[in-house]
Each structure stands twice: as C-alpha cells, then as structure tokens.
C-alpha cells in the first residue's frame, strides 16, 4: 500500500522506460464533481500526484515489483526514470510540462539517498545541486512552477526535532523555510504545504503564513496543491483519509470518490480539477487507484473572475532566514537543454484568472500578497 506522504521511502527499483495506453473508467456524477477513475494498464496500484491545465498527469504505479513513476500526456503513459537512478518518483508538473520529483541514487561513501530532479518537457533530466548546509540525509522535490522554481523538504543530521525543513530553489539559490513542508509553489511565489504539527498552510511570506485544519478532522490536515485562485487541495483524517478542497474564502468541501471510504486529494489545477488516489474498498486486495474530480460548474462561494493578471516572480521579500548559493554546481535553470526559465507558459484561457491580490473575505482568512513580496 502506498502512503500519501511524499517522503515515501523504498529501496532500489530499476525499471525500463515503456509507453502504455491510457485506460479511464466511465464518469460518475457526485456532489458537484464528475469522477473519472484512472488505472495504468496492467498495474496493481495507481496514484495520481498532480495534473496541469492541459490534463497531463504524473504519479506512481506498480505491477507488483515496486513502484515506478509515470507521465501521462497526449494519450499515452511513459515510465519515468532518471538515468543512473534506482527509482524516480514524480510529484509535480507545471504548465510547460516540466516534472519534478525525487530519485534514489548512490550516496558518496556508499548506500543510497533521495535527491530532487527535474524532467524538462523536452525529455532532458537534471538533478538539483546539493543543498550546501552539510549533513543532508534526504531531499525531496515536491512542486514546480512555470518559472522552474522548485520546492521540497529536506532532513539533515543537525535537525534537533527530526521534523525536517522546507526549501525553495530559485535561479541557483536555495532559500530555507524552517518548520514547514512546502508541497507546491505558484508562479507568483505563493506556496502551499504542511506544518510538522499537521496543519495545512498557505505561505505568502514567513510573516504571512495562514495555518488551517479541516473542521471536524481528528488529528491531521495536509495541504498538497494550490492554484491561481488560492484554492488548496489536500487530505485530512476523520478518522480515515478524506480529500478536501479549501476555497479562497476559507470554506471547505469534502472530496471523496463515491462508495469508497478513503480518498486522498493530492493535486489541483487552475480549472478546479482535483487529482489523487483512493483505496478500492471493493477489490479483492487493498488497491490504490487514481481519480480525477472534475467540477460540474463554477467555483462555489467565489465570484467568477473576469481578468487575467500574471504577476512577476520574486523571492527577495519572503524574508527567509537563510539563503545558500551552490557555485560549484550547474544550476538547473541554466542548463543548455532546459527551456527559458524566465518565460512562464500562460495559464489556460478556458477559465479566466482574476488578479492575484487578496483572495480571502476577511483579514483573518485572507490570502494576500505582502508588501514587498515582489522584487
């Protein structure tokens, strides 16, 4: 059984690149969403971690001999494996089609460790430089925006609480986000993630962090994805795993696959489509299967936007306590095989995007851009 926790750990799983056909189950209308169920053909387990506005999907599948990463795009599924790695797990995709994830590779001095990678839309892989803080034992790649900025989580031997910290990788520089596990980053720098105390969080800066928990959740709320509207998708326990979407006015809606008891919402695009996995209660064995929850109508509680405002990105105003530049490694953004990192793809015009200013209805719940956020 696959955990939704993106720090999922396995041992070496060598796989070969293959191309597979897509199989989608008939749609089901349920509580404002049409659910499309998704399996990789021949797989015993399938998870979708993220989707973009073009409908591309990334996730994991298993045929019974460990997990492999995949990319679904253009009607086919391609298994992903960073050259030289034992396993490559993709967790996020941007509008360009660039994929971010984590790979299991040989560690200096013996053994293996997890390190973040990016697979560009042209099929070229790149490994992020080492985080120059010393003693990093684990490092994930969780989210990527249209500028190619990456967020993730790392653990180091100097951690006093063992909870780990977050990072943003931007133009060859790492910025540390203490005591937060960031999972997604928009092109304006706003992030969604989870606190070690298992509250969901939206960060517009370290001075403007909105923590939340789904009402009636028992112990944990995790936040995995945020779209241009400020809507957040994630998972909570009450007492079993259930998916949710938190709208920008701080209202919540539960997202559960019909007739199933455990659903995890892991990805969200700007069209309001939620991606994730559920545990099939009716299978002869405990089985993960992927799903897409497609809205049947406009977003509730929030007026439909009328204009497009794509804002420039800057991290200088985030106020992170530490910043590190690894001058000895080639920055991912500067790779000659990568697209121009400074020209983000425009979001889909199928659903216009409103200006990214204050997205909440009250000062207590508003997701607003802090003064000086952009440079």
Which residues of the chain fall below pLDDT 50?
A: 1-4, 7-31, 301-322, 325-375
**pLDDT value for 313:** 34
**pLDDT value for 326:** 45
Exposed, middle or buried by CB within 10 Å (0-12, 13-18, 19+), for 34? middle
Among the listed residues 113, 118, 117, the one whose alpha carbon sits nearest the alpha carbon of residue 136: 113
- Torsion from C-alpha of 313, 319, 322, 328, nearest 10 degrees: 20
**pLDDT value for 22:** 35
Assigned fold of 20-334: Neuraminidase (2.120.10)
Q: Give me the residues paired with residue 24 across strands.
A: 38
Residue 24 DSSP code = E
Give yes or no for a contact between 252 and 244, defined as CB atoms under 8 angstroms apart.
yes
Work out the angle at residue 352's Cα, subtended by the Cα atoms of residues 212 and 307, and round it to the nearest 5 degrees: 100
**pLDDT value for 285:** 62
């Amino acid at each position: 059984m696959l955990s939704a926790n993106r720090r999922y750990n396995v041992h070496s799983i060598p796989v070969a690149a293959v191309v597979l056909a897509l199989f989608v189950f008939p749609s089901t209308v349920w509580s404002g969403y049409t659910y499309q169920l998704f399996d990789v053909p021949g797989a015993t387990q399938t998870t979708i971690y993220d989707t973009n506005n073009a409908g591309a999907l990334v996730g994991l599948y298993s045929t019974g001999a460990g997990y492999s990463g995949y990319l679904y795009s253009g009607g086919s599924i391609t298994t992903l494996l960073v050259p030289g790695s034992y396993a490559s797990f993709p967790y996020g995709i941007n509008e360009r089609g660039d994929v971010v994830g984590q790979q299991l590779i040989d560690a200096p001095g013996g053994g293996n460790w997890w390190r973040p990678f990016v697979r560009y839309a042209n099929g070229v892989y790149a490994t992020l430089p080492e985080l120059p803080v010393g003693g990093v034992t684990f490092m994930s790649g969780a989210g990527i925006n249209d500028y190619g900025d990456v967020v993730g989580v790392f653990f180091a031997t100097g951690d006093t609480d063992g909870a780990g910290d977050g990072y943003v990788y931007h133009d060859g520089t790492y910025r540390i986000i203490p005591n937060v596990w960031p999972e997604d980053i928009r092109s304006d720098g706003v992030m969604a993630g989870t606190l070690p105390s298992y509250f969901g969080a939206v960060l517009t800066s370290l001075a403007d962090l909105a923590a939340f928990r789904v009402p009636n959740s028992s112990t944990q709320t995790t936040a995995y994805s945020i779209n241009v509207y400020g809507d957040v998708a994630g998972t909570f326990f009450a007492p079993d795993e259930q998916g949710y979407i938190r709208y920008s006015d701080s209202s919540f809606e539960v997202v559960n696959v019909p007739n199933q008891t455990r659903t995890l919402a892991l990805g969200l695009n700007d069209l309001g489509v939620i991606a994730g996995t559920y545990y099939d209660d009716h299978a002869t064995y405990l089985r993960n299967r992927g799903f897409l929850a497609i809205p049947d109508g406009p977003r509730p509680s929030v007026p439909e936007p009328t204009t497009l405002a794509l804002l420039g990105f800057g991290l200088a105003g985030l106020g992170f306590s530490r910043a590190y530049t690894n001058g000895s490694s080639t920055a991912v953004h500067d790779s000659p095989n990568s697209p121009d990192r400074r020209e983000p793809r425009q979001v889909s015009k199928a659903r216009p995007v409103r200006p990214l200013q204050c997205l909440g209805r009250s000062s207590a719940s508003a997701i607003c851009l802090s003064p000086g956020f952009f440079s």
